[in-house]
Structure 1
Amino acid sequence: MNDNTLRTDSLCKQWGGFKANTDVCLNFVPGSRHALIGPNGAGKTTFINLLTGALAPTSGAVYLGGQDITKLPQHKRVKLGMTRTFQINTLFAGMTVLESVALAICERRGLPSCWYKTVEKHQDVIDEAMALLATLRLTDQANSVTRSMAYGKQRLVEIALALATKPRILLLDEPAAGIPQAESKELFEVIAQLPRDVTVVFIEHDMGLVFRFADRITVLVGGKVLTEGTPAEIAADPRVKEVYLGEVEHG
């Protein structure tokens, strides 16, 4: 099996009599842009939390490549290449964008104190940070304090911090939530241009964005997988229209 393949085997999460996820078996193709969609309460965020280790499953397993990572804590999954977006509003709000990304790079390299030394001694860290900001169209924001930025730009910084860990799997839970439409389109254009050695799994309620940027879509309903397929297959599936999409046309 490809070393970068993320998959789940009969993954379940239950609280008392409430079943948030039931027998979820999914395989995320390396390099794909894979969307998780479904009505509110479908179990999408719970599933992401199971993938990252934020929650322990009631039963079932999570695999990265050939390794069973079901019992690994979150920080060890990050070391293996699975990252979700950071909550920068609480962690890095008072720092500049460059400081935040450089600090994340230092942490990955095992140099947690490097930011407090002279910048000249770690120019390679600054160079890597600036190169990453360039890929996310944030170069002109490098010296901006995070909390002063537009919310859409803050979400891009969250992605920059996640990418600083050099992930193989990037998990995004509603990255466009609360962002004006023009900014959300820009955000997803940036996500679409990420290197194909990064698999992107994302939850999104804006079906226009989903059908434009995903190459695989999984539909969750009631904590179970209803169906999975290409955007064209999902748009044409009458079951999906009945439970979620309605009769809206999607290109």
Structure 2
Amino acid sequence: MSAMKATTLRTDALCKNWGGFRANSDISLSFAPGARHALIGPNGAGKTTFINLLTGSLAPSSGKVYFGDEDITALPQHQRVKRGMTRTFQINTLFAGLTVLESVVLTICERKGLQYVWYKTVAQQHDEIEEALALLASLKLDRDADTVTRSLPYGKQRLVEIALALATRPKVLLLDEPAAGIPSAESAELFEVIARLPRDVTIVFIEHDMGLVFRFAERITVLVGGKVLTEGTPAEISADPRVKEVYLGEAEHG
């Protein structure tokens, strides 16, 4: 099998400039099917910019983004979602007043092109409700199905974000600091759920908690100053003196 066929998502010399400031510089990365791949680095390393370039919310100054064999560099965000690339939703603005079940059902309807079937209420979408309940059960959110999203603890709200993302049936799931703002006990539980996601979903995530990164990532890319410093397994990254110097020492000391 060629390297191309074994790649779900890749970038080729991806750059993003704002005037004289280069936020991302010649980033060439590839993510294999089923990868659990973390992006780490100091603040300002360009991690979120890179995710924004992958999703299409930012246009690159130069370079390419490929989804499988397809060049998607010029594709808008919604077309990337339809092809199977999903980023966690901002549920606090989208679905805060709906129940968890309603939110997931509506996302499934969107995926199926049923959002314009005005004569049906959510309660009448029987197949979609069944799919949504199965998805919530897999994330241990079934007991919260009838709870209004805004009333859930923050950790569970982040789980609902993941449920909404999974409802789009993604091939690639992009998570930008999924554990941010969550107490450590809840963040470990959140990552346990992420770790149990099906292997047909490639996961790329940014995370500052090194304990979570080294526990759940299978490959790690270190960004510094908008460039790739190194990439490897957790064992390789933890032993790399350059990484210790520019990042891990900083993380250990706050």
Equivalent-residue separation in structure 2 for 1:247 and 1:18 (angstroms):
24
Equivalent-residue separation in structure 2 for 1:104 and 1:15 (angstroms):
34
Residue deviations 1:161-191, cap 9 Å, x none?
Answer: 0100000000000000000001100100000
How much does 1:122 deviate?
A: 2.1
Any idea what SS the aligned residue of 1:246 has? helix
Equivalent-residue separation in structure 2 for 1:160 and 1:12 (angstroms):
31
How much does 1:234 deviate?
A: 0.2
Match of 1:141 among 121, 144, 155: 144
Residue deviations 1:114-136, cap 9 Å, x none?
Answer: 58625564211000000100111
Match of 2:35 among 32, 37, 46: 32
Q: Work out the number of aligned pairs and report it.
A: 249
Match of 1:175 among 174, 178, 184: 178
Which residues in structure 2 correspond to 1:110-121 (within 5 Å)? 110-114=113-117, 117-118=120-121, 121=124
Equivalent-residue separation in structure 2 for 1:116 and 1:207 (angstroms):
49
How much does 1:193 deviate?
A: 0.2
Q: What TM-score do you get using the length of structure 2 for normalisation?
A: 0.95
Q: Are residues 1:209 and 2:212 paired?
A: yes
After superposition, the CA RMSD in angstroms is 1.5
Any idea what SS the aligned residue of 2:42 has? coil
How much does 1:65 deviate?
A: 0.6
User: Match of 1:159?
Assistant: 162
How much does 1:2 deviate?
A: 2.5
Equivalent-residue separation in structure 2 for 1:115 and 1:145 (angstroms):
23
Equivalent-residue separation in structure 2 for 1:103 and 1:97 (angstroms):
10
User: Match of 1:79?
Assistant: 82
- Counterpart residue identity of residue 144, structure 1: T
- Counterpart residue identity of residue 100, structure 2: V
How much does 1:235 deviate?
A: 0.3
Any idea what SS the aligned residue of 1:42 has? coil
How much does 1:203 deviate?
A: 0.2
Match of 2:100 among 89, 97, 100: 97
Do the aligned partners of 1:4 and 1:168 also contact (CA within 8 Å) in 2?
A: no
Residue deviations 1:75-128, cap 9 Å, x none?
Answer: 000000000000000000000000000000000000004586255642110000
User: Match of 2:47?
Assistant: 44
How much does 1:42 deviate?
A: 0.1
Q: 1:67 to 1:186 in 2, by over 3 A?
A: same
How much does 1:227 deviate?
A: 0.2
Residue deviations 1:171-227, cap 9 Å, x none?
Answer: 000000000001100100000000000000000000000000000000000000000
